[in-house]
Structure 1
Amino acid sequence: MFTRLSPYGQAVILALSGYFLFSMADVSAKILSARHPIVLCLFIPSLIALIGMVARILIERGLNGFKAKYLKLQLMRGAVITAMVILYVNSLRLIPIADFYCIVFLSPFVVMALSVLLYKEAIHWPRILVLILSFSGVVITIGPHFNELNIGYLFACFGMLFGSLNIFLVRKIGSDEYSPLFGLFPILGVLLTSAPFAIPHLTTDLPLTDIGIFIFYGVALIGAHNFLPMAFARTPSVSRLTPLHYSQMVWGILAGIFIFDTPSEINTFLGGGLIVASGLWLFYYETFSSKKTVS
């Protein structure tokens, strides 16, 4: 059934699955970062994810599976994702998850702007309007918190920029790269970066529930780091797929209410709603423009 879909249809399903799993990883990171050192929250899930990815590669292709066609781009992407993950985990420890997503949701608009700069895509008034509305949504969301602003918001902003750059690296690599390698290099980067600081904190006294969350976190990373790159490698247009990022807003709000017992304030709904509406408009505009161009 999945293979019968168009490349864009496959990309949509893969992207939604990837963003859901990243949301689950974010929730796990926020829970664990309140109980354990940040370096452990980076190291243990990365180790679990790496074991799973290496096992898959060995089973499917043996040692030849580790040969990347675009090694330099994969190494660059690994460094970019490593920086993004470190920034995001530190941010989630300090700010509400709904605020975190409202900042992260600027990524599609950064991608749109970079598309103009890197690929010389035409920029029309609807795109400019979307940029203005999305920025307004962020201001509305964090506006009442200006007296409570901390470095976590800055971490989220810089992490979002690295995440936007990652999309273009994935697009540059393309769909002919072996898909597990898209997750292998970022996970390996996070593991190597955190290992020297995390190993001294390792203990056998972890609560059973936390062990379960660490395992779930690692498994979610395996799926997310495989599905999302596969989605962006399949899509005929990056800008048509990036608005699906807003599906994470739903999971962020639900997690805030049911897991962290911090219902979102009205400004979060207003600002987040404005950002999501802007993203949906961008999705409609890009899809309509693409069909009009083809016809």
Structure 2
Amino acid sequence: MSSAEVHEAGNNTRLGVMLMIGATIVFALQDGISRHLAGEYNVYMVVMIRYWFLSLFVVSIALRQPGGLKKVARTRQIWLQIFRGFVCAAEICVMVLAFTLLGLVESHAVFVSYPLMIAALSGPILGEKVGIWRWSAILIGFLGVLIILEPGIGVFQPAALVPLLAALMFALYGLLTRYAARKDNSATSFFYVGVVGVVFMTPIGLWNWEAMSAPDWGWMGLLCLTGALGHYLLIRCYEAAEASAVQPFAYLQLPWAAMLGLVIFSETIRFNVALGAGIVVAAGLFTLWRERRQR
């Protein structure tokens, strides 16, 4: 799920952009299926089964690496990798819950603020310099989040904070991934995301097990396949092009998910959500542009 999990920069930007667009479409489909299944069954069980398949995927990737599974699993920062995996699994649970509470449109409108959170927290956590222009973009972006949430207007819904929490958790996960990259390669970090996640989710998911209908098992299988396909496309994307060149296209997941919400789940787009999301995306694109320019 992270855009920084497997990263070997190449120079085929056009291919990288196409792969990133494909990944956003696949991940939007994954979110739509997650919304359906989590609306019918326990969130923990749905995420657990998804992790069963993801863990098989990451192990198969590790076995194909030079040195095999033993080399990929070797790390000098095991507790950091375990914490990363835990944060990722918890974030997925929170975000899927947000889909059931608010729908795809509003959940993604708030969640797209995570790059701004990464930019804001990169200073205290990673020691990176955040200049006045990036701080200005961050503040404007969070103004967009406030426009979406509408605090103080009518009856504020606490459920609106759920995707904001998911964005904060994903931002923390992204920063931990950057920090881990100082000593571990991307294959090792990706491996621990799958393995730690399945260890963490399995006992919780089994405790909350519910019988699933035959058609929904089909949707569950499709959810697992989209998860693996999405990560594969991201792997290929970062092998083909630099992250700074393709990252802006990751925002396309918002309109794809919004279209699914409108067409399949009969959701609506309120004016404040569209306006706030536009401000957040514009601010996020500006921070990416500033980061690329500084590099």
TM-score of the aligned structures, taking structure 1 as reference length: 0.79
Distance 2:132 2:113 in 1: 18
Per chain length, whose mean CA-contact separation is higher, i.e. which structure has more relative contact order (CA < 8 Å, sep 6+)?
Answer: 2
| 2:86 maps to amino acid | A
| 1:130 maps to amino acid | A
1:255 matched to 2:260: yes
| 1:214 maps to amino acid | M
List per-residue Cα deviations over 1:227-255 (Å, max 9, x = no partner). Answer: 657878999787x7765442221112111
Residue 272 of structure 1 is matched in structure 2 by 277
User: Which of 159, 170, 178 is residue 171 of structure 1 equivalent to?
Assistant: 178
CA contact (8 A) 2:95 2:163 kept: yes
Structure 1 position 108, deviation (Å): 1.0
Residue 5 of structure 2 is matched in structure 1 by none
In the TM superposition, 1:26-65 aligns within 5 A as 26-58=31-63, 62-64=68-70
Distance 1:229 1:4 in 2: 10
| 2:73 maps to amino acid | K
Q: Percent identity?
A: 20
In the TM superposition, 1:113-192 aligns within 5 A as 113-143=120-150, 147=154, 149-174=156-181, 177=184, 179-192=186-199
In the TM superposition, 1:176-215 aligns within 5 A as 177=184, 179-199=186-206, 202=209, 205-208=212-215, 210-215=216-221
| 1:29 maps to amino acid | S
Distance 1:77 1:226 in 2: 20
Structure 1 position 177, deviation (Å): 4.9
- Going from structure 1 to structure 2, the CA distance change for 1:229 and 1:164 (only over 3 Å counts) comes to farther
Structure 2, gaps ≥5 residues long: 1-7
- Going from structure 1 to structure 2, the CA distance change for 1:258 and 1:176 (only over 3 Å counts) comes to farther
> What secondary structure, in the 3-state scheme, does the structure 2 residue paired with 1:263 have?
coil
1:285 matched to 2:290: yes
Q: What is the aligned-residue RMSD (CA, Å)?
A: 3.6
| 2:54 maps to amino acid | A
CA contact (8 A) 1:170 1:229 kept: no
Structure 1 position 192, deviation (Å): 2.8
1:216 matched to 2:210: no
> What secondary structure, in the 3-state scheme, does the structure 2 residue paired with 1:95 have?
helix
Residue 116 of structure 2 is matched in structure 1 by 109
> What secondary structure, in the 3-state scheme, does the structure 2 residue paired with 1:6 have?
coil
Aligned residues: 286
List per-residue Cα deviations over 1:176-228 (Å, max 9, x = no partner). Answer: 856554343233333333323433555665232x2222122222322444665
Distance 2:89 2:28 in 1: 17
CA contact (8 A) 1:85 1:159 kept: yes
Distance 1:24 1:175 in 2: 33
Higher mean displacement: 192-201 or 256-265? 192-201
Distance 1:191 1:198 in 2: 10
Residue 293 of structure 1 is matched in structure 2 by none
Distance 1:9 1:249 in 2: 21
- Going from structure 1 to structure 2, the CA distance change for 1:181 and 1:30 (only over 3 Å counts) comes to farther
> What secondary structure, in the 3-state scheme, does the structure 2 residue paired with 1:34 have?
helix
- Going from structure 1 to structure 2, the CA distance change for 1:128 and 1:200 (only over 3 Å counts) comes to closer
Residue 69 of structure 1 is matched in structure 2 by 75
Distance 1:63 1:138 in 2: 42
